[in-house]
Amino acid sequence: MKYFYRDIVLATLTSTLFIISQLQAQDFDDVQIVTHHVKDNIYYLEGSGGNIGVIVGDDGVLIVDDQFGPLTNKIEAAITDLTKLPVTFVINSHFHYDHTDGNENFGRAGAFIVSQDNARRRMESAQVLASGYSQRRYEEVGLPKITFFEAMRFYFNDEPIHITYNGPGHTDGDAQIFFLESNVMHTGDMFVRYVLPFIDQNNGGSLDGMIEATDRLASQINDETIIIPGHGQLSTRDDLLNYREMLVTIRGNLLRAKVQELSPSEMLETEPADGFAPVGDGTDQWLLRAYDEYR
């Protein structure tokens, strides 16, 4: 709903373009890793970049995403406060560097990296994101050694962990990780709590795909599910549905502009994201990229 996004709009900007520009200039020495308990033996770590999901137990440690390479020591220290066992598996929710830049460090330490197959393919070579940022190729040690196409399952620390590919949306290789027994889902950047989600059209993402993927996600969980979003605070199924409603409403406004044969500048004048995101360059760039999908 519109009021939901009005409440958070002043706290965040409208796209990962802003996040990228800030992170490029960031002093990682100042970043603090904050540990949040989610449920049972599941946690998430907040620092710089995507939320890191963590499950600990007798089998070791499995994490979802690993943020930036310069933060690996801090991330490992935060995990050590939970358990002395090492990180055994790293699941990449997708290939973007704010979720995977630590891969090479964890790979050298002996962790097995897992991803959807398309995400590995993106990491095998340099990629230019829709934001214009150029992401380098990863060394072999940082590439996923285990990949899947539609779904796979771990049985780890007494928790069945179901990993699914709900189709291209944010990118063409996003994974969502569902801790079934604990009823906790890590969505990666298919669902985030800043306003307009970054859609990487250069790498298989699309607004339609995001909407379709959130439909599937909503059908896989229930009202008791705790969601760890790619960025932002813990969420619920209602939050996910509100997010989907925002995307559907904006898409409808863009399609209306297309039917009216409005130019990109004329489309912007109609303010298709009004009520959801502030007017400004970040919002305009997001709308232009999305509008281009329908031209």
Task: Report the C-alpha gap between 25 and 223 in whole angstroms.
Answer: 39
Domain around 150: 31-243
Question: Which residue type, as a one-letter code, is found at position 218?
Answer: A
The pLDDT of residue 194 is 87
279 pLDDT band, cuts 50/70/90, is: confident
In a domain, 227, yes or no: yes
Question: What single string gives the DSSP state of each residue in 94-143?
Answer: SS-HHHHTTHHHHHHTTPEEEEEHHHHHHHTS-EE-TTSPEEPPPPGGGS
Contacts of 20 (CB under 8 A, 6+ apart): 98, 129, 131, 133
Q: Is the pTM of this model over 0.85?
A: yes
Determine, yes or no, domain membership for 6.
Answer: no
Tokens describing residue 210:
């995001």
Question: How many domains, the chain?
Answer: 1
Q: Residue 148 falls within a domain, yes or no?
A: yes
CATH number, residue 157: 3.60.15.10
Convert the pLDDT of each residue in 177-203 to its tens digit.
999 999 999 999 999 998 899 999 999
- Note whether residue 152 is domain-resident: yes
Written as six digits, the tokens of 132 are: 């214009």
Question: Is residue 18 domain-resident?
Answer: no
In this structure, is residue 277 part of a structural domain?
A: no
Q: Decide if 80 is inside a domain.
A: yes
The answer to whether residue 9 sits within a structural domain is: no
Residues 206/165, Cβ–Cβ less than 8 Å: no
